[in-house]
Amino acid sequence: MRFHQILCPIDFSPSSRRALRTAARLAKRDHAGLVILHVGYAGDPGLGDYQFSTEILANVVTDERRHLDDALIEMKQLGVDHVSAELLRGHPWPQISERLDGDPTLDLVVIGARGRTGASRFLFGSVAEKVIRHAPCPVLVTGEGIEALPFRRILCPVDFSAGSQHALDLIPKAIDPSSEVTLLHVLDAPPSYAKEPSLRTFEDDLDREAASQLTKAADALRPNVTASVGTRVVVGHPSEEILRVLEASPPFDLVIMGSHGRTGLKRVLLGSVAERIAHHAPCPVLIARPADPEPRTS
């Protein structure tokens, strides 16, 4: 299993250029098509944005097309055979959403976690988060200072929910043949568990149950990959523990996680946690989506 058609929204910032290089590596690896999308935004008078003159806007469009042409040349030089570029105008998120809705062949979005600031901001914060939350396909988020590297060491946080099962299902499609995969479960136990002997016993039982379920998940995954698969259980706050594991040496090259998970005691991947990891991880984060997502709202 591989990706077939990749969409990479860019705003020509360093972050989006890194995302584009990552998209190029995946497109070359999978012999996939790559669509480079730039959404030109000239402001909204209803929001009090500054309005540019017709002459200035014409120059902006010319500059955007030149940057897209340069991106096409770079992709060809990197060995991407099937690549195209599109220039749209309007608010970035609705345009990206409409583009995704209009082409069911797109099966991966690659986007930078940070973009331009000021009047020409495109992918900073809220836009990337909306793509993470609502895209109908997996979203690969690349952060600050992250270059396109082979994905050899992969971390997959698992909470045994449908969301984390989507991440497990995505692993064979995303990893390289010689990869090492670690399935991680974070046992989200209240601090009082460390003080009460009876509660510590309960935590031990949960730990054993989590380890057993992780082993089953690893056993189910191994026939579908050539990678080695290991498991790990830790105790603490989900996002903090995931980031702590990512800071360990040797470093991980990729995180694969679901966009939603359990609530309550065993919450690991619920919305904001996945978004926090996507924005703060020292490596790219691949957010899995269900095969048939619910209708999106902007």
DSSP 176-190: -TT-EEEEEEEE---
Phi/psi at 246 (nearest 5 deg)? -70, -25
The pLDDT, as a whole number, for residue 194 is: 53
pTM for the complete prediction? 0.84
Kindly indicate the confidence band of residue 274, based on its pLDDT and cuts at 50, 70 and 90: confident
Q: What is the pLDDT of residues 114-124, one digit of tens each?
A: 655 433 343 44
Provide, rounded to the nearest whole percent, the portion of the chain with pLDDT above 90: 53
* More confident: 198 or 245: 245
Q: What is the pLDDT of residues 205-225, one digit of tens each?
A: 777 888 999 999 999 999 999
- Compute the distance between CA of residue 269 and CA of residue 282 in angstroms, rounded to an integer: 18
Tokens of 209: 């149950």
Residue 128 scores a pLDDT above 60: yes
- Compute the distance between CA of residue 267 and CA of residue 18 in angstroms, rounded to an integer: 32
Residue 296 scores a pLDDT above 60: no
Residue 45 scores a pLDDT above 80: no
Tokens of 248: 């360990």
CB 28 within 8 A of CB 80: yes
Residue 46 scores a pLDDT above 70: no
CA angle centred on 96, ends 118 and 38, rounded to 5°:
60
In the DSSP assignment, the letter for residue 161 is S
CB 8 within 8 A of CB 18: no
Highest mean pLDDT among 1-5, 45-49, 194-198, 203-207: 1-5
The pLDDT, as a whole number, for residue 52 is: 65
- The mean pLDDT value for 243-264 works out to 82
Task: Say what the alpha-carbon torsion angle 123, 128, 134, 139 is, to the nearest 10 degrees.
Answer: 110
